[in-house]
Structure 1
Amino acid sequence: MNILEKIALTKIKGIGPKLSRTLLAYNGSVEEIFRSSKKQLLAIPTIGEVLAENIASKSYLKEAEEEYNFIQKHGIEIAWIEDKIYPKRLKNCEDAPILLYYKGTASLNPSRVISIVGARNATNYGKRICEDFIQQLSDFDVQIISGLAYGIDSLAHRQSLKNNIPTIGILGHGLDRIYPATHRELASRMLENGGLLTEFPSGTNPDRQNFPMRNRIIAGLSDVTIVVEAAIKGGALITAEIANTYNRDVCAFPGGIDQDYSAGCNYLIKTNRAHLIRNAEDLSYLMNWSKEDKKAHAKQLNLIPPDMSKDEKKVYEYIKEHEKASIDDIALFCDWPQSKLAIILLEMEMKSLIVSLPGKTYKLI
């Protein structure tokens, strides 16, 4: 019953990610939400008569059962926001979906995640940059995500597979279809070394309004968003802007000043919304990433250096769990004033336990 209620909550019209979290915060669990009376629901801020009636009637449970039968038949996993499988990076975003549908073999919590986005009508310049860049990334133990769209997105997925890099496509529709249809073969190959992920249930069409929502997931899943080539307007710049609001790093490849499909990248760089990069070495310098053996990296993440104070261990474990964390997130978790935390972070940097990144974020060395 629990899984049906989780699905049902996402199907109630008028209840989005933020309101879902409010309901969970007030009720403690998804089961308690559906056990609540209309009167109890009306006592929750922003819950009106219509929503309270919809929740209390439990009318969406039948739709949830149909969805559950679909995911069971097609081997789809559900990632609830409180589950371990749920992407930790995305969970830190206030508008993160409370439920995701996923099919594939790649982890949703890898050590390093890069999103690569760009123009649908990519030029030869953009295609060459994308191909060379991804080939260079094969030594950096990364996962690459994009939107499975025409142009740079699909090229990023294809090149990732070619270089044996796990790649996940984020969809703006349900897992009962692939859009565009010409990418079905590519999507099938991605399931073997990557996957497909969406917040939308089956039967959801690839409608225009779904893609900005899809773009926020791309930004939220990533340590860094790379804009390869983009016009001054379009989905790539929307993704970059969202990444900036999430306090994530954004990078862009520069282009010719007279080229329309480089205008977006040049604008991001000019306005300090993105770091200028030319290759993977520039990215590794910015992110403090080194080329390393995957097994050695995994082993390193499981080790806890000796000679740390109790407070330092608390910070270290939090950063290790989240791969990278902002000073605000750490302060909130530890419940310390930032003055105390700043001293601890400085001491940990001097001990070469952590490194400071742009945006007042930290990661383990």
Structure 2
Amino acid sequence: MTKEQLLYTLALQHVPNIGAITAKKLINHCGSAEAVWKEKKHQLQKIDGIGTTMLSALKDTNHLKEAEDELKFIEDHQIIYHYFTDANYPEKLKHCIDSPILLFQAGNINLKKQRLISIVGTRKITVNGIAFCEKLVEELAPFNPVIVSGFAYGTDITAQKAAVKHNLQTVGCLAHGLNQIYPKVHKKYMKDIEANGGFLTDFWSSDVFDRNNFLKRNRIIAGLSEATIVIESAEKGGSLVTADIANSYNRDVFAVPGRVTDSMSIGCNNLIKFQKAHLLSTPLDIPLMLNWKLEEEKQPIIQKQLFVELDTEQKIIYNFLKDNGKELLDVIALKCDMPTFKIAGILLNMELKGVIRPLPGKLFEVV
């Protein structure tokens, strides 16, 4: 993208009455953001959904002047930017109708052919929530996922610190421009996160900090990821909005259940109750449900041998699959008289031992 093309794209992004969906419609119709600004008014009127207010805004040169200032900020601070049709634009975000036409980056982010999951939840995370979040990241570490969150208090920073601890790439999605950081107390974590990933935002350096920005930011958290995990949430909260957005994108959502008397479990319990999320009882549910395979170099070397040491429960499952062939997870749990949440961990351990393998559709068979 040339400097001039970036300028006109920034100007289009700056128009308050034109959101990402309409901006893309205009660009697709006219061919480029520059062509949108230079198109005659009567031609723009032919585009479905373009009314008088939008037409007036597109003839307001103040947006171009504001864009020049932001362009200078981008150049002076060597900000990396991603245009929504570029190859370097996050792949999963491309499929979201309301994804931003421009995304700004700080740090060392590489999302190509990566497993991305978002971990969100209350800012008032409990001791149990912290323990589960840290255990979740630790047990998923062999699968090398990218941990996406919002860099906020509580659940967000817990997940991102755990990602850094286990040398996983992590991405913080910000509700403000790259010229500031919120909360300020988290500034001490920025260097480590940028070394292990970085930050993404569609907000400008001139954007006024506003609480509504967090809700807008949440679509990027959900859109980047193949699955969103809610650790804890009150009856209402931003993480529930993120879960709803993820559902609207047809992405998987997981929620950690809690006691009905715990205020910070109400949101998660409701997600599960109303079938808006899978119940997440153990970290190993994630690779099982998402059909993740361990990377070849991280799989244990298993020598071919006649017998592999299995415990009692593993032998029951092995003998069942050997006698019945490939079977669904739920059928295995039913026939082997074991709870589904427990089966998930046992099957993964058996996979690591090389005695079974997962198949598409939550099927498993003996190797």
1:184 and 2:203 correspond: no
1:137 and 2:140 aligned: yes
Q: Determine the C-alpha separation between the residues in 1 that align with 2:297 and 2:206.
A: 38
Correspondence for 2:64 among 61, 65, 77: 61
Aligned to 2:293: 290
User: Following superposition of structure 1 onto structure 2, how do residues 282-321 of structure 1 map, counting pairs within 5 Å?
Assistant: 282-293=285-296
Is residue 2:42 matched to residue 1:43?
no
Question: 1:168 is aligned with what amino acid?
Answer: V
Work out the CA distance in 1 between the residues paired with 2:293 and 2:283.
10
Change (3 A) 1:356 1:75: farther
Q: Does 1:222 align with 2:225?
A: yes
Q: SS in structure 1 opposite 2:198?
A: strand
8 Å Cα contact 1:38-1:53 kept in structure 2: no
Aligned residue in 1 for 2:163: 160
Residues 295 and 87 (structure 1), Cα distance of their counterparts in 2 relative to 1, 3 Å cut: farther
Per-residue deviation at 1:295?
A: 9.2
User: Secondary structure of the residue that 1:70 maps to in structure 2?
Assistant: helix
The corresponding residue for 2:10 is 7
Q: Give the number of aligned pairs.
A: 301
Hey, what does 1:270 align to over in structure 2?
Answer: 273
AA matched with 2:239: A
Normalised to the residue count of structure 2, the TM-score between the two structures is 0.78
1:71-118: CA deviations, max 9, x gaps?
A: 122221111101111111111111111111111112133421010001
> Is 1:355–2:366 an aligned residue pair?
no
- Counterpart residue identity of residue 292, structure 2: W
Q: Is the contact between residue 224 and residue 249 of structure 1 (CA under 8 Å) also seen in structure 2?
A: yes
What amino acid maps onto 1:218 in structure 2? I
Give the TM-score, by structure 1 length. 0.79
Aligned partner of 2:318 in structure 1 is none
Structure 1 segments of 4+ aligned residues over 3 angstroms from their partners:
56-59, 293-296, 354-357
Q: Which residue of structure 2 lines up, in the alignment, with residue 251 of structure 1?
A: 254
Out of 71, 75, 80, which is 1:72 matched to?
Answer: 75
CA contact (8 A) 1:93 1:246 kept: yes
Q: Which runs of 5+ in 2 are unaligned?
A: 300-356, 363-367
* Distance change (3 Å), C-alpha of 1:111 and 1:149: same
Residues 271 and 77 of structure 1, relative CA distance in 2, 3 Å threshold: same
Measure the CA separation in 1 of the matches of 2:167 and 2:258.
28
Gaps of 5+ in 1: 297-351, 358-365
Out of 261, 268, 284, the position equivalent to 1:281 is: 284
SS in 1 for 2:29: helix
Higher radius of gyration, 1 or 2: 2
AA partner of residue 355 (structure 1):
P
Q: CA deviation at 1:188?
A: 2.6
Q: Structure 2 residue aligned with 1:86, among 85, 89, 107?
A: 89
- Kept in 1, the 8 Å contact 2:151–2:172? The answer is yes
Give the CA deviation at 1:17. 0.6
Post-superposition offset of 1:293: 4.0
